[in-house]
Amino acid sequence: MNVANLVSVLASLSWLLVIGSLLFAGASVARGGRARSFASLVIGALALALVLSTVSQGLIFVQPEMRGVVISALQQTGLRAQPLQPGLRFVVPFFESVKTYPIAKQTYTMSGGAAEGQIAGDDSIVARTADGQEVRIDASVIFSIDPAEVVAVHVEWQNRYVDGLIRPKLRGIARDSAARYAVQEIYSVRRDELAIEIEAELQNVLDTNGLMLDAFVLRNITFTPEYASVIEQKQIAEQEVQRQAFVVKQREQEAEQLRQQAKGQADAVVIAAEGQAQKILIEAQAQAAALQAIGHALTTNPDLLQYTYVQELGDDVQVMLVPANSPYLFQLPELDAAAGTPASP
């Protein structure tokens, strides 16, 4: 409880004290008491009540988020030129009164939702576009009273600056601005441009009337059911086109993947064939080298063939049958017919 309210409460209590003292004095006189002895009590209570009432009428406590306009019978204009600043202030009792105004930010909303705006029901702004389509605009205005212009706002609007200024001006500006755009532009690429245009014009109006615009919010734009259906069908078609494009892209990726796999398999076959050919070539070269070495060995040492042949015979071979008219693999010892002894080779 601030001081001004406390003094007002004390003033009310003092008048109760006056009434109580009068009742007490009257009852005492009725029982034979002297009225003069109670007069000082009544006069004292009355004087205290008058003083407290006078002081309570002059003390004003202005909250930090408020500014006070002093309505004065002592001024020719009927008002003090400067508003009261926050804190405990004093005005001339019974000749001056104070009307307070908030300087904090306020929000005014016009919406088609039944419980969203300041007015119940559909309070959206109905406008016509350049091509004759009807749109409904939901908007919010965040504003405040200029602290230096509180007295001017009081003179011009009092508490009607919302219903008398902001509401009708916003409706008119929104309708005029929407009429400069086609419905397709509002729906797509120029919606932000529309909001900026409305905000700029509304700011000029508020600035000239002692108000400050903090923000304009274009909350929603609603189209007629027919146009909304067209937009929905268009979006469905666009989404289908995008889906088909995605499917085509996916198929292209799958085909590319198959091509890469086939190329990899073909490369693997080529590499395997080249490896096999290289293997055969190496084996042939090795065999040729081996045969060449064998031939050279036989040329330089003919007995090597006989030795190798004998080595391959089994250990139990004692008799060999050789076809007639076949050359011998190795020379057999010749018997000396005369001496009966084998001839030397």
Residue written as token pair 């008119």: 172
H/E stretch holding 22:
helix 3-30
CATH architecture of 106-223: 2-Layer Sandwich (3.30)
- Positive or negative, the CA dihedral 150, 151, 157, 159 is positive
Alpha-carbon span 2 to 182, nearest angstrom:
57
DSSP per-residue letters across 207-269 = HTTTEEEEEEEEEEEEE-HHHHHHHHHHHHHHHHHHHHHHHHHHHHHHHHHHHHHHHHHHHHH
Q: According to the model, what pLDDT value does residue 222 have?
A: 86
Beta bridge partners of 343: 334
Q: 184 is written with which tokens?
A: 């397709």
Alpha-carbon span 217 to 140, nearest angstrom:
5
Alpha-carbon span 7 to 64, nearest angstrom:
20
Antiparallel, parallel or unpaired: β 125-128 and 106-110 = unpaired
Is 59 in contact with 88 (CB distance < 8 Å)? yes
Alpha-carbon span 180 to 215, nearest angstrom:
22
Beta bridge partners of 290: none
Q: 330 is written with which tokens?
A: 């190795």
Q: According to the model, what pLDDT value does residue 312 have?
A: 66
Q: According to the model, what pLDDT value does residue 37 have?
A: 62
pLDDT, averaged per 10 consecutive residues of the chain (345 residues), comes to 75 83 76 67 82 85 93 90 91 91 93 72 85 89 95 93 93 93 85 92 95 93 76 69 84 86 84 85 84 76 67 64 58 49 48
Q: Where in the chain is the domain with CATH 3.30.479.30?
A: 106-223
Residue written as token pair 């085509």: 248
Alpha-carbon span 239 to 245, nearest angstrom:
10
Alpha-carbon span 36 to 121, nearest angstrom:
69
In total, the chain counts a number of residues equal to: 345
Alpha-carbon span 160 to 103, nearest angstrom:
15
Residue written as token pair 């057999």: 332
